[in-house]
Structure 1
Amino acid sequence: MSEHPSHTEETPRLNRTIGQLEGIKRMIGEGQYCVDILTQLRAVRSAIKTIELSVLETHMKSCLAKSCQCGDETQRDQQIGEIMLLLKKYE
């Protein structure tokens, strides 16, 4: 089994995002203004996208780079395919 890179540096960002979601939940419970709730939801979406891109960048720099260095074209092509599928889901 191959070792995967650590993403522990994302934990503070995840914790902040969880806090934002809790705040939105509280806003909804308090019946706050829709536009304010939507603004906060947009901020959470942006935060998650930042985390997601960081994990993808780490994957490309670590896992994909290792596949290229070891010359395993099959593994490299498989990982490129995985990345392409992920990107297609974002459309």
Structure 2
Amino acid sequence: MRTRRRKAVAVDPQIKARNVRRLRRIAGQIRGLERMVGEERYCTDILIQISSVQEALRAVGKALMGNHLRHCAAQAIRSGPGAKADAVYDELLQLVYKYSR
């Protein structure tokens, strides 16, 4: 399924910069994981690093979710009842469902 490219209504520049830094750090952690697997490092050590990457990704997701709720969703909902607000409510329900798994 292909999704349309949409732009955020507003992005806090500090949150964006922090997320980019976090994602670069995560990319480095993943490269480290690849090396660990290639070097046949102890499974527990690899699993601990995987857990660290997952937690770092959750932190980025939390920041993105907060920005989306504060800006994108809030603006659509403030625009009043109608198809746009209903679509945002549906989108938020799907996000909460997917993010909470």
TM-score interval for Structure 1 and Structure 2 normalised by the shorter chain? 0.7 to 0.9
Structure 1 residue 72: Cα displacement: 4.1
1:50 aligned to 2:50? no
**2:33 alignment partner in structure 1:** 24
Q: Deviations over 1:43-71 (max 9, x none)?
A: 00000011011111100000111123222
Q: Percent same amino acid at aligned positions?
A: 29
Residues of 2 paired with 1:65 and 1:88: CA distance?
19
**Partner residue of 1:40 out of 26, 49, 52:** 49
2:16 to 8, 13, 23: 8
Which of 77-86 and 39-48 deviates more? 77-86
- Please give the alpha-carbon distance, in whole angstroms, between the structure 2 residues aligned to 1:79 and 1:71: 11
Equivalent residues of 2:77, 2:88 under 8 A apart: no
TM-score (norm 2): 0.78
Amino acid at match of 1:8: K
* Alpha-carbon distance, 1:87 to partner: 2.1
| TM-score of the pair, normalised by structure 1 | 0.86
Gaps of 5+ in 1: none
1:80 aligns with 2:89: yes
CA distance in 2, matches of 1:85, 1:74: 16
Would you say how many aligned residue pairs link Structure 1 and Structure 2? Answer: 90
